[in-house]
Structure 1
């Protein structure tokens, strides 16, 4: 039974490592529901002939993408709200710049605001519109005004383009002073003498929000995502590097997301029923595509969208609706993570420091687990007391393993000891650990949030600059080393029933955990460190109680 318990502890530790690999690094990306876009048929008239003006292909092809047509008379229009500053161009009516006011590029004091449109004229810009093969993306949209004025907190920008063939396109952007959401209505007018058909396509050009692979963000998702048919789809670039990927269904929103930010489009009243992606890690082109529409001579069709370029803040996204808050994906641990995030923000409202809030959350979680931990620690202490008796049984029945196991179990029953009682608290804390990992790494509230001293960003690994770069680490991971030391001390204080060889194996666990935590968010390391300190305190109280009982019995 001792061997079983020792190996169980090792298995639990490796379960944490493997769970970390599975949930946060991943072995293979699940295959997203894909429909072959090349199988899209050309719309047919009732007589079986192709419809004039019908779309021959609805997939944006990066390789075949032509350079943007720049019109010499085009100007840029700036918009400033309380949330962001944005710039729109008459070239394609595109969004060419959007800088958030409440978020910075880095944690430096002089850092500029976070830029969410980090492409250029060669790559192209987002929010261009096409209508099948009849209306291209690079029309010249003449603006009715050179600046946007706000009345009662609302502003409007109207742009109109002549698409030729008797078609006119009117783009109307609507802004609110206190909101990240931008309304976009696009009206296609048919002034020709014939019926025309096309599919509305709203395009995006996406480059990464930040480079992946650095400390603290190497395990974070960044790529195309959409909420379709009541389910979140996260599609990494490797899924569409070899060709376009199409998602179809009830599209509530679609866009490109990172860990903290979202470039999202919400189609209104069926303006988007398909989402097409193509590209790679450095550049992803997408198109939100509507149904095939027919415009009779003299008629028009308006396509309405809500544009959200902003932070992935759960409360804010929930207020906006359209299930945008599902873009913050806590995975399997959602049921624990979301209440934890709420509690963290609630406590922050009182203390004004997320590091202190994390400490308070840790104390609350420890208090909730205290009775179970108490039982487990006492069980370990009792198991330690039984070691002399168990050693005699093993010696007595060393030639009869079956009888020996029976006698050991009887010994447990006699002294009312649960051999697995010491492992239960660790098992119960594993889902809490992963939920907190998700919260502390994915919550934008922790981005650039300072704690104290050298810890200026709770979402990044802690590093203390010591005057020169350490290999691989850069700075000194002081908090992580303290966490490892506290784990080692806790292990030393915890009663063990393992034999000397097994005990030596278990001594490597603090080292393994320290190495694993090196690039974890400092907020998570802070939680684990404080949790270890509380466990040490609890063990010390139990040891003191046990010693007092022994002294009383001796007296």
Structure 2
């Protein structure tokens, strides 16, 4: 029984490894294909018209369409200012005055590599196009004009946050008396930017407008995770009925998004970071997606159509988030936006584990120590299961001679053999699954913690001690994997086996070596958890065996 379980576990691990490897080859990140500025300028704009999305399964006519084939250029002289820069304590952004798009965004508090002075660039106009566009369409919307998108004017070429908030207004006026002030509102210690439109109509007739916002990114594959640390780069959205949906570039190509919802949101994800547009949550918005030019993915929304009488003014608002996947802040912006920190099917275990991990970090101030403490807590809470497991395994080993006698007595009569085994288990009060069941209960916790360590931006560049300066990546000197393998070998020696087949014995002897190699690519924080878990298990095993000896259980 024990040998069968061991072989089954090894087989499942090997098959899982092969499946994971195949998945990574098919869908995993690949090296980036740089996009030049000239290419970026020639990308189809994909600016939506005012056509609403009427049904979740609408036709192409129901979907916003591009009003021009190329990115519109403002009709202005070469001396006309084309962009402005904004610096805050969290963001350095560049806003194009053509359309008022955010074409570059650096995350000031997140270096591209540990110890680097260069901030991580989330949005960029070249080297892999990724921009946040927004504007006004409709019958009188300047972004829906066949002549091209509007050229806004700004009072200055650069702005810097000095107080708690910073407002950056850009203005546009038409020849027929319509004026628009598009204001970007930045707040200290915030990664969300409020985007407000003040529309004044002095045209002498009623004007109609519709707000839109979208994220546009190249679909060219970029360097990212590895086989053991898979990361998702693609789109996601949320609706009133379905809080979180991944929407890959392949989905955008094969099945473009067309859905109406109250509230909702759209986003682009790349491992620890997210860009997201959050429309007014009390209004009905139309979510859409589109593949442009065969190589650029767009996901966005259009808001409700709004009429402005002559002599009147209205204000439209939305929110652009550019930053880390901070669950607490994302949850405040929109329902389900925090689920972009994707813990998978075990989220119901991962979320409490992450909450406990954050609490422990608040006490000790070191994520590595917090991982050690959470391991002690988890293993302590599961001590009774470990005790049951070891006692069951010991009793099964003690039954080995009697099991052999039954085999000799009944030979190939499987029915009588099974009946005799069940009677023996009942007489000796042994549960044959007692050694396997506790292990099955612990595996979901291991997997849940794996996703916590993989997805939580708080662990990015998190220092521990000595050579381990980033718990979210593999140990650079492979010390933890080797120690983990050594602890597994010690556990193996502490637990006698009933295996008699020489091949099975050799496989089990080499398991610690195989697992050490396996753990090389895992995040150092996860390997630390596994190593400390093994050490605690060794201590618990000594205690359990000592207790069993006192009770006469060999």
Matching residue of 2:81: 74
Q: Does 1:106 align with 2:113?
A: yes
Match of 2:378 in 1: 365
3-state DSSP of counterpart to 1:93: coil
Q: Say whether the 8 Å CA contact 1:9–1:423 is kept in structure 2.
A: no
Question: In 2, are the aligned partners of 1:240 and 1:278 still within 8 Å (CA)?
Answer: yes
Deviations, residues 341-369 of structure 1 (Å, cap 9, x unaligned): 11111111222211111111111110011
Does the C-alpha gap of structure 1 residues 171 and 345 become closer, same or farther in structure 2, counting only changes over 3 Å? Answer: same
Using the alignment, how far apart are the partners of 1:150 and 1:515 within structure 2?
49
Superposition map of 1:279-294 within 5 A: 283-294=296-307
| Alignment equivalent of 1:310, drawn from 323, 328, 332 | 323
Shift of 1:420: 0.8
In the TM superposition, what is the alpha-carbon distance from 1:6 to its structure 2 partner?
Answer: 4.2
**Local SS of the residue matching 1:249:** strand
Question: Residue 241 of structure 1 aligns to a residue in which SS?
Answer: helix
CA distance in 2, matches of 1:124, 1:13: 38
Distance apart, 1:327 and its partner CA: 2.0
1:372–1:425 Cα contact (<8 Å) kept: yes
Cα 1:27–1:366, aligned 2, differ >3 Å: closer, same or farther?
farther
Runs of at least 5 residues in structure 1 that lack an aligned partner in the other structure? 42-56, 465-476
Q: How many angstroms does 1:105 deviate by?
A: 0.7
In the comparison of the two structures, how many residue pairs are matched?
518
Moved more, 516-525 or 416-425: 516-525
Would the alpha carbon gap of residues 148 and 525 (structure 1) be closer, same or farther in structure 2, given more than 3 Å must change? same
Change (3 A) 1:451 1:534: same
Q: Which moved more, 1:441-450 or 1:529-538?
A: 529-538
Stretch deviating more after TM superposition (219-228 or 272-281): 272-281
175-184 or 505-514: bigger deviation: 505-514
Residues 509-520 of structure 1 mapped to structure 2, 5 A cutoff? 509-520=511-522
1:204 to 2:210 alignment? no
Partner in structure 2 of residue 90 of structure 1: 97
Seen in structure 2, the aligned counterparts of structure 1 residues 187 and 512 have a Cα distance that, compared at 3 Å, is farther
TM-score of the two chains, using structure 1 as the length reference:
0.82
SS of the aligned residue for 1:497 comes to coil
Q: Verify: 1:535 aligned to 2:537, yes or no.
A: yes
Report the CA distance shift for 1:119/1:484 in structure 2 as closer, same or farther (over 3 A).
Answer: farther
Kindly state the Cα deviation for residue 535 of structure 1 after the two structures are TM-superposed. Answer: 1.6
Among 173, 179, 183, the alignment partner of 2:190 is: 179
8 Å Cα contact 1:92/1:141 also seen in 2: yes
Alpha-carbon separation, structure 2, partners of 1:87 and 1:80: 9
Matches within 5 A, 1:50-449: 58-60=64-66, 64-66=69-71, 68-69=73-74, 71=76, 72=78, 73-74=80-81, 76-107=83-114, 109-120=115-126, 123=129, 125-132=131-138, 135-136=142-143, 138-148=149-159, 153-163=164-174, 166-193=177-204, 195=206, 197=208, 199-206=210-217, 211-215=222-226, 219-229=230-240, 230-241=242-253, 244-268=256-280, 269-270=282-283, 272-278=285-291, 283-320=296-333, 322-449=335-462
Contact 1:148 1:156 in 2 (8 A): no
* Equivalent-residue separation in structure 2 for 1:74 and 1:124 (angstroms): 22
Partner of 1:455: 468
Root mean square deviation, CA, Å: 3.5
Answer yes or no: is the 8 Å Cα contact 1:228–1:251 preserved in 2. yes
Alignment partners' CA distance in 1, 2:520 and 2:291: 35
Write out per-residue CA displacement over residues 66-106 of structure 1, whole angstroms, 9 at most, x where no aligned residue. Answer: 35447431254333333223332323222233222221111
Counterparts of 1:280 and 1:479, CA distance in 2: 47
How far apart are residue 499 of structure 1 and its match?
Answer: 3.4
Q: Deviation string for 1:475-511 (max 9, x for gaps)? A: xx33223223322332332233333244444445445
> Residue 299 of structure 1: CA displacement?
4.8
CA distance in 2, matches of 1:510, 1:235: 39
- Which of 455-464 and 312-321 deviates more? 312-321
By how many angstroms is 1:171 displaced?
0.4
Stretch deviating more after TM superposition (528-537 or 484-493): 484-493
Which residue matches 1:473? none
Cα displacement (A) at 1:394: 0.8
Residues 93 and 70 of structure 1, relative CA distance in 2, 3 Å threshold? farther
Out of 518, 522, 538, which is 2:524 matched to? 522
Whole-angstrom CA distance in 2 between matches of 1:122 and 1:509 = 43
Counterparts of 1:281 and 1:414, CA distance in 2: 70
